Amino acid sequence: MVLNYYFDAASIIAFVMLIAMVVSTKHIMDYKFRVLCYLTAVSCLIPILDILRTYVIDNRMSVVLVYVVNMLFFLVHATVTFLFLMYVISQVEMSETRSLIRKVLLYVPLAICTVLIVITPFFSTVFYYSVETGYVTGPLYFLTSLVPTLYFTWAIIYTIRKRHVLSRSFIIMISLVAIVNVATIICQLIWPEVIVRSFTISMSAFVMYFFEEHGRVAIEEDTNLVGKEYLLEVGTRMARNNYPFSIILIRITNFDALSDTFGHENTKALSRNIAAYVGNQFRLGRCFRISESTIAILNTEIDKTDELTRRLYDELSDSWNIEGLDISCDILMTYINCPKDTDDAENMSALIRHFNRMERTAGGVIDIDELHINEHIRIKLVENAIERGLRNNSFQVFYQPIHSLEDDTFMTAEALVRLTDPELGSISPAEFIPIAENNGTVVAIGNYVLETVCQFIADNDMEELGLRYIELNLSVIQCLQKDFIENVDNIVNKYNIDPKYLCLEVTETASNYSPTVFKRNLETLGEKGYSLALDDFGTGYANIERMVTSDFRIVKFDKEMTQYSSSEERLQNVFEKLQNVIHSMDSKVVAEGVETKEQYDYLKKIGCDYIQGYYFSKPVPKDEFVEFIKANN
């Protein structure tokens, strides 16, 4: 049989190219990539040994040489499939397995195979060779194929079992590699003269390399830092495998102030110098860029975390010479112990984000508790509850009657959203609305409330009930949407409702975000016939000027203000004066949070217009509200 070595030669060239590529690019040598490198390095021996093996046998060369080459050939074959399995496992696990049973199962077949190969010259286990007889296979020859088959099958089963944890692209890639390799083995049986096996292996190595290269995160040339996505990827994998580690966070807190003083370029250079200083102390792939001013270190020596943090703090807090300027900066540091503090990627990311944005200019080493980890976890849970609520339509609208002192009737009500979650129970809008504002879901919630209120108005005869309109709360985020007015109009028109039945409450802080858009939107609403109310007046920073210049028919005094002023004399004075100003602008005053007879009497005495509070009724579901109104009006 004349053997054809073209494919072997081609695969040698392919391997040389692959090795050159690996060596010439900066790579994070994590476990996964290390295993791939070993796999490539060992695989590249296959075509060489393939050629050598037939050459030395065919040319009846010295016995020692034939034995050495053949033994190496068998060893390499077994090791390659072993490394292939390790590579597949490394996609899920962080490092070599720590379970003893698994270790034994993994290494024993390879060890047996190796022993059989090593003792071949003495016991002819795998093959026998002499110049006279030539090459003859031994009784345990079959094991040299059985062991690779075993590893290969294991890799396939592992991929199938872990399909939920593995990425889709990895599964597709590895399936292709497996199919092509099996097909090659079959071809080899049919056409033994064309040795295509090593070529397939080299191409598989190429595919795996490009797969890893594709998912590779960028490495900053001058600082050796890598992106934060990689930190989360590795962090999640380590936490999932219960591998303890800590994330040390470093931030230049006065970055913006330094930018103003020394210029952005100099400050960026300072930040890069610090990053490079830190980046060069650790292995590539251990330091991460979070933002211009923040970096993170993944540390696996957890018992040294505190010591390391304090040492770095002392070193970094020194002054840095940038372009001849001595710049000293405020360094803020903390560390997260995983999985003790958190083992969840989203929490990790929330903590890092929060540290990066923390309103603090002074430096120091702070405790992780100062990042209010439980708050983040709660926020995450509430976010999930909001998603569930929107998906399952489990938001509700309650109504709280508002009493008119002048007419002695309940002439309006405030619509208030409610959320009861199967996992968290009832969640207050005071908690979930700000969270919904942060992630944008408040727009969907607001639309739901508006629809429900419109439905209520359409279903009931407002005049007969003695109701003039229903008040509902608008969030800042809603008011600033591009299609806000159009959206309100669409919903209101869908139920064929006169805008006069709706009073939209906004809070005063809303105008801080984008005063022009906000004012313009409110004006448009006013022109269309909606009434507007200023909610929570008296909380935070009240801008009287803005209140006076906007067209609010109603001003709602916040419950704290109401409750204090009915008991504290000095506040009473302010309350009454403000009420007079509002009346002089032809607007009405609603006092929120009225709970007692004394409060009610006081407000009545000073001529307040409307009263809202538990004194009359808590917010109640629609039917209960209608009953209440029918009974009282």
Which is closer to ligand C2E, CB of 345 or CB of 571? 571
Compute the distance between CA of residue 284 and CA of residue 116 in angstroms, rounded to an integer. Answer: 40
Q: What is the CA radius of gyration of the chain?
A: 37
Residue among 288, 283, 312, 316 nearest 300 (CA): 283
**434-439: long-range contacts, CB 8 A cutoff, minimum separation 24:** 435/379, 435/382, 435/383, 435/386, 436/386, 436/475, 437/475, 437/476, 437/477, 439/383, 439/386
Question: What is the signed CA dihedral for 169, 170, 172, 178, rounded to 10 degrees?
Answer: 160
Compute the distance between CA of residue 552 and CA of residue 304 in angstroms, rounded to an integer. Answer: 61
Residue 582 half-sphere exposure toward CB, CA atoms < 13 A: 26
Q: Which of 6, 142, 210, 614 binds ligand C2E (CB under 6 A)?
A: 614
Tokens of 224: 């050796």
Within 370-389, which residues bind ligand C2E (CB under 6 A)? none
Give the strand order in the sheet containing 226-227.
Answer: 226-227, 287-289, 294-299, 245-252, 331-338, 364-365
Q: What angle do CA 372, 375, 376 make, to 5 degrees?
A: 95
Q: Which of 536, 547, 578, 602 binds ligand C2E (CB under 6 A)?
A: 536
Residues near 31 by beta carbon (within 8 Å), at least 6 away in sequence: 90, 93, 94, 95, 96
Strand partners, 321: 326
Q: How far is C-alpha 130 from the geometric centre of its chain's CA atoms? A: 65
508 binds Mg ion (CB under 5 A): no
Please give the size of the binding site for ligand C2E, defined by CB under 6 A: 24
* Residue nearest to ligand C2E as judged by C-beta position: 613
Query: Interface mask (CB under 5 A) for Mg ion, residues 575-614, using x and -?
Result: -----------------x----------------------
416 binds ligand C2E (CB under 6 A): yes
116 binds ligand C2E (CB under 6 A): no
619 binds ligand C2E (CB under 6 A): yes
Q: Of all helices (H) and strands (E), which one includes residue 141?
A: none
> Cβ distance 15 to 202 under 8 Å?
yes
> To the nearest whole angstrom, how small is the minimum distance from the Cβ of residue 471 to Mg ion?
7
433 binds ligand C2E (CB under 6 A): yes
Which is closer to Mg ion, CB of 219 or CB of 411? 411
Q: How far is C-alpha 223 from the geometric centre of its chain's CA atoms? A: 25
289 phi/psi in degrees, rounded to 5: -90, 120
Which is closer to ligand C2E, CB of 330 or CB of 437? 437
Which is closer to ligand C2E, CB of 50 or CB of 414? 414
Angle between helices 100-118 and 63-90 (to 10 degrees): 170
CB atoms within 10 A of CB 175: 13
325 phi/psi in degrees, rounded to 5: -100, 135
Compute the distance between CA of residue 467 and CA of residue 488 in angstroms, rounded to an integer. Answer: 21
> Cβ distance 424 to 379 under 8 Å?
no
Compute the distance between CA of residue 311 and CA of residue 314 in angstroms, rounded to an integer. Answer: 5
> To the nearest whole angstrom, how small is the minimum distance from the Cβ of residue 267 to ligand C2E?
39
Q: Which does 511 bind (CB under 5 to 8 A by kind): Mg ion, ligand C2E, none?
A: none
Please give the size of the binding site for Mg ion, defined by CB under 5 A: 5
Q: Which does 147 bind (CB under 5 to 8 A by kind): Mg ion, ligand C2E, none?
A: none
Tokens of 502: 């709706």
Residue among 629, 576, 633, 584 nearest 605 (CA): 576
Q: Which of 56, 201, 449, 491 binds ligand C2E (CB under 6 A)?
A: 449
505 binds Mg ion (CB under 5 A): yes
478 binds Mg ion (CB under 5 A): no
613 binds ligand C2E (CB under 6 A): yes
Which is closer to Mg ion, CB of 66 or CB of 402? 402
Compute the distance between CA of residue 403 and CA of residue 412 in angstroms, rounded to an integer. Answer: 7
Q: Which does 50 bind (CB under 5 to 8 A by kind): ligand C2E, Mg ion, none?
A: none
Residue 626, judged by CB atoms within 10 A of its CB (0-12, 13-18, 19+), counts as middle
Which is closer to Mg ion, CB of 159 or CB of 473? 473
Stretch that binds ligand C2E, among 82-90, 254-262, 378-386, 607-615 (CB under 6 A): 607-615
Query: Interface mask (CB under 6 A) for ligand C2E, residues 548-567, using x and -?
Result: -----------x--------
> Cβ distance 628 to 401 under 8 Å?
yes
119 phi/psi in degrees, rounded to 5: -85, 0
8 binds Mg ion (CB under 5 A): no
> Cβ distance 198 to 187 under 8 Å?
no
593 binds ligand C2E (CB under 6 A): yes
Q: Which does 93 bind (CB under 5 to 8 A by kind): ligand C2E, Mg ion, none?
A: none
> To the nearest whole angstrom, how small is the minimum distance from the Cβ of residue 560 to ligand C2E?
9
535 binds ligand C2E (CB under 6 A): yes
609 binds ligand C2E (CB under 6 A): no
536 binds Mg ion (CB under 5 A): yes
473 binds Mg ion (CB under 5 A): yes
Q: Which of 8, 30, 212, 535 binds Mg ion (CB under 5 A)?
A: 535
> To the nearest whole angstrom, how small is the minimum distance from the Cβ of residue 431 to ligand C2E?
9
Q: Which does 259 bind (CB under 5 to 8 A by kind): ligand C2E, Mg ion, none?
A: none
Which is closer to Mg ion, CB of 55 or CB of 615? 615
475 binds ligand C2E (CB under 6 A): yes
DSSP state of 567: T
> To the nearest whole angstrom, how small is the minimum distance from the Cβ of residue 630 to Mg ion?
24
Query: Interface mask (CB under 6 A) for ligand C2E, residues 488-517, using x and -?
Result: -----------------x------------
Judged by the rule CB under 6 A, the positions of this chain that interact with ligand C2E are: 400, 416-417, 428-430, 433, 446, 449, 473-475, 505, 535-536, 559, 592-595, 612-614, 619
Judged by the rule CB under 5 A, the positions of this chain that interact with Mg ion are: 473, 505, 535-536, 592
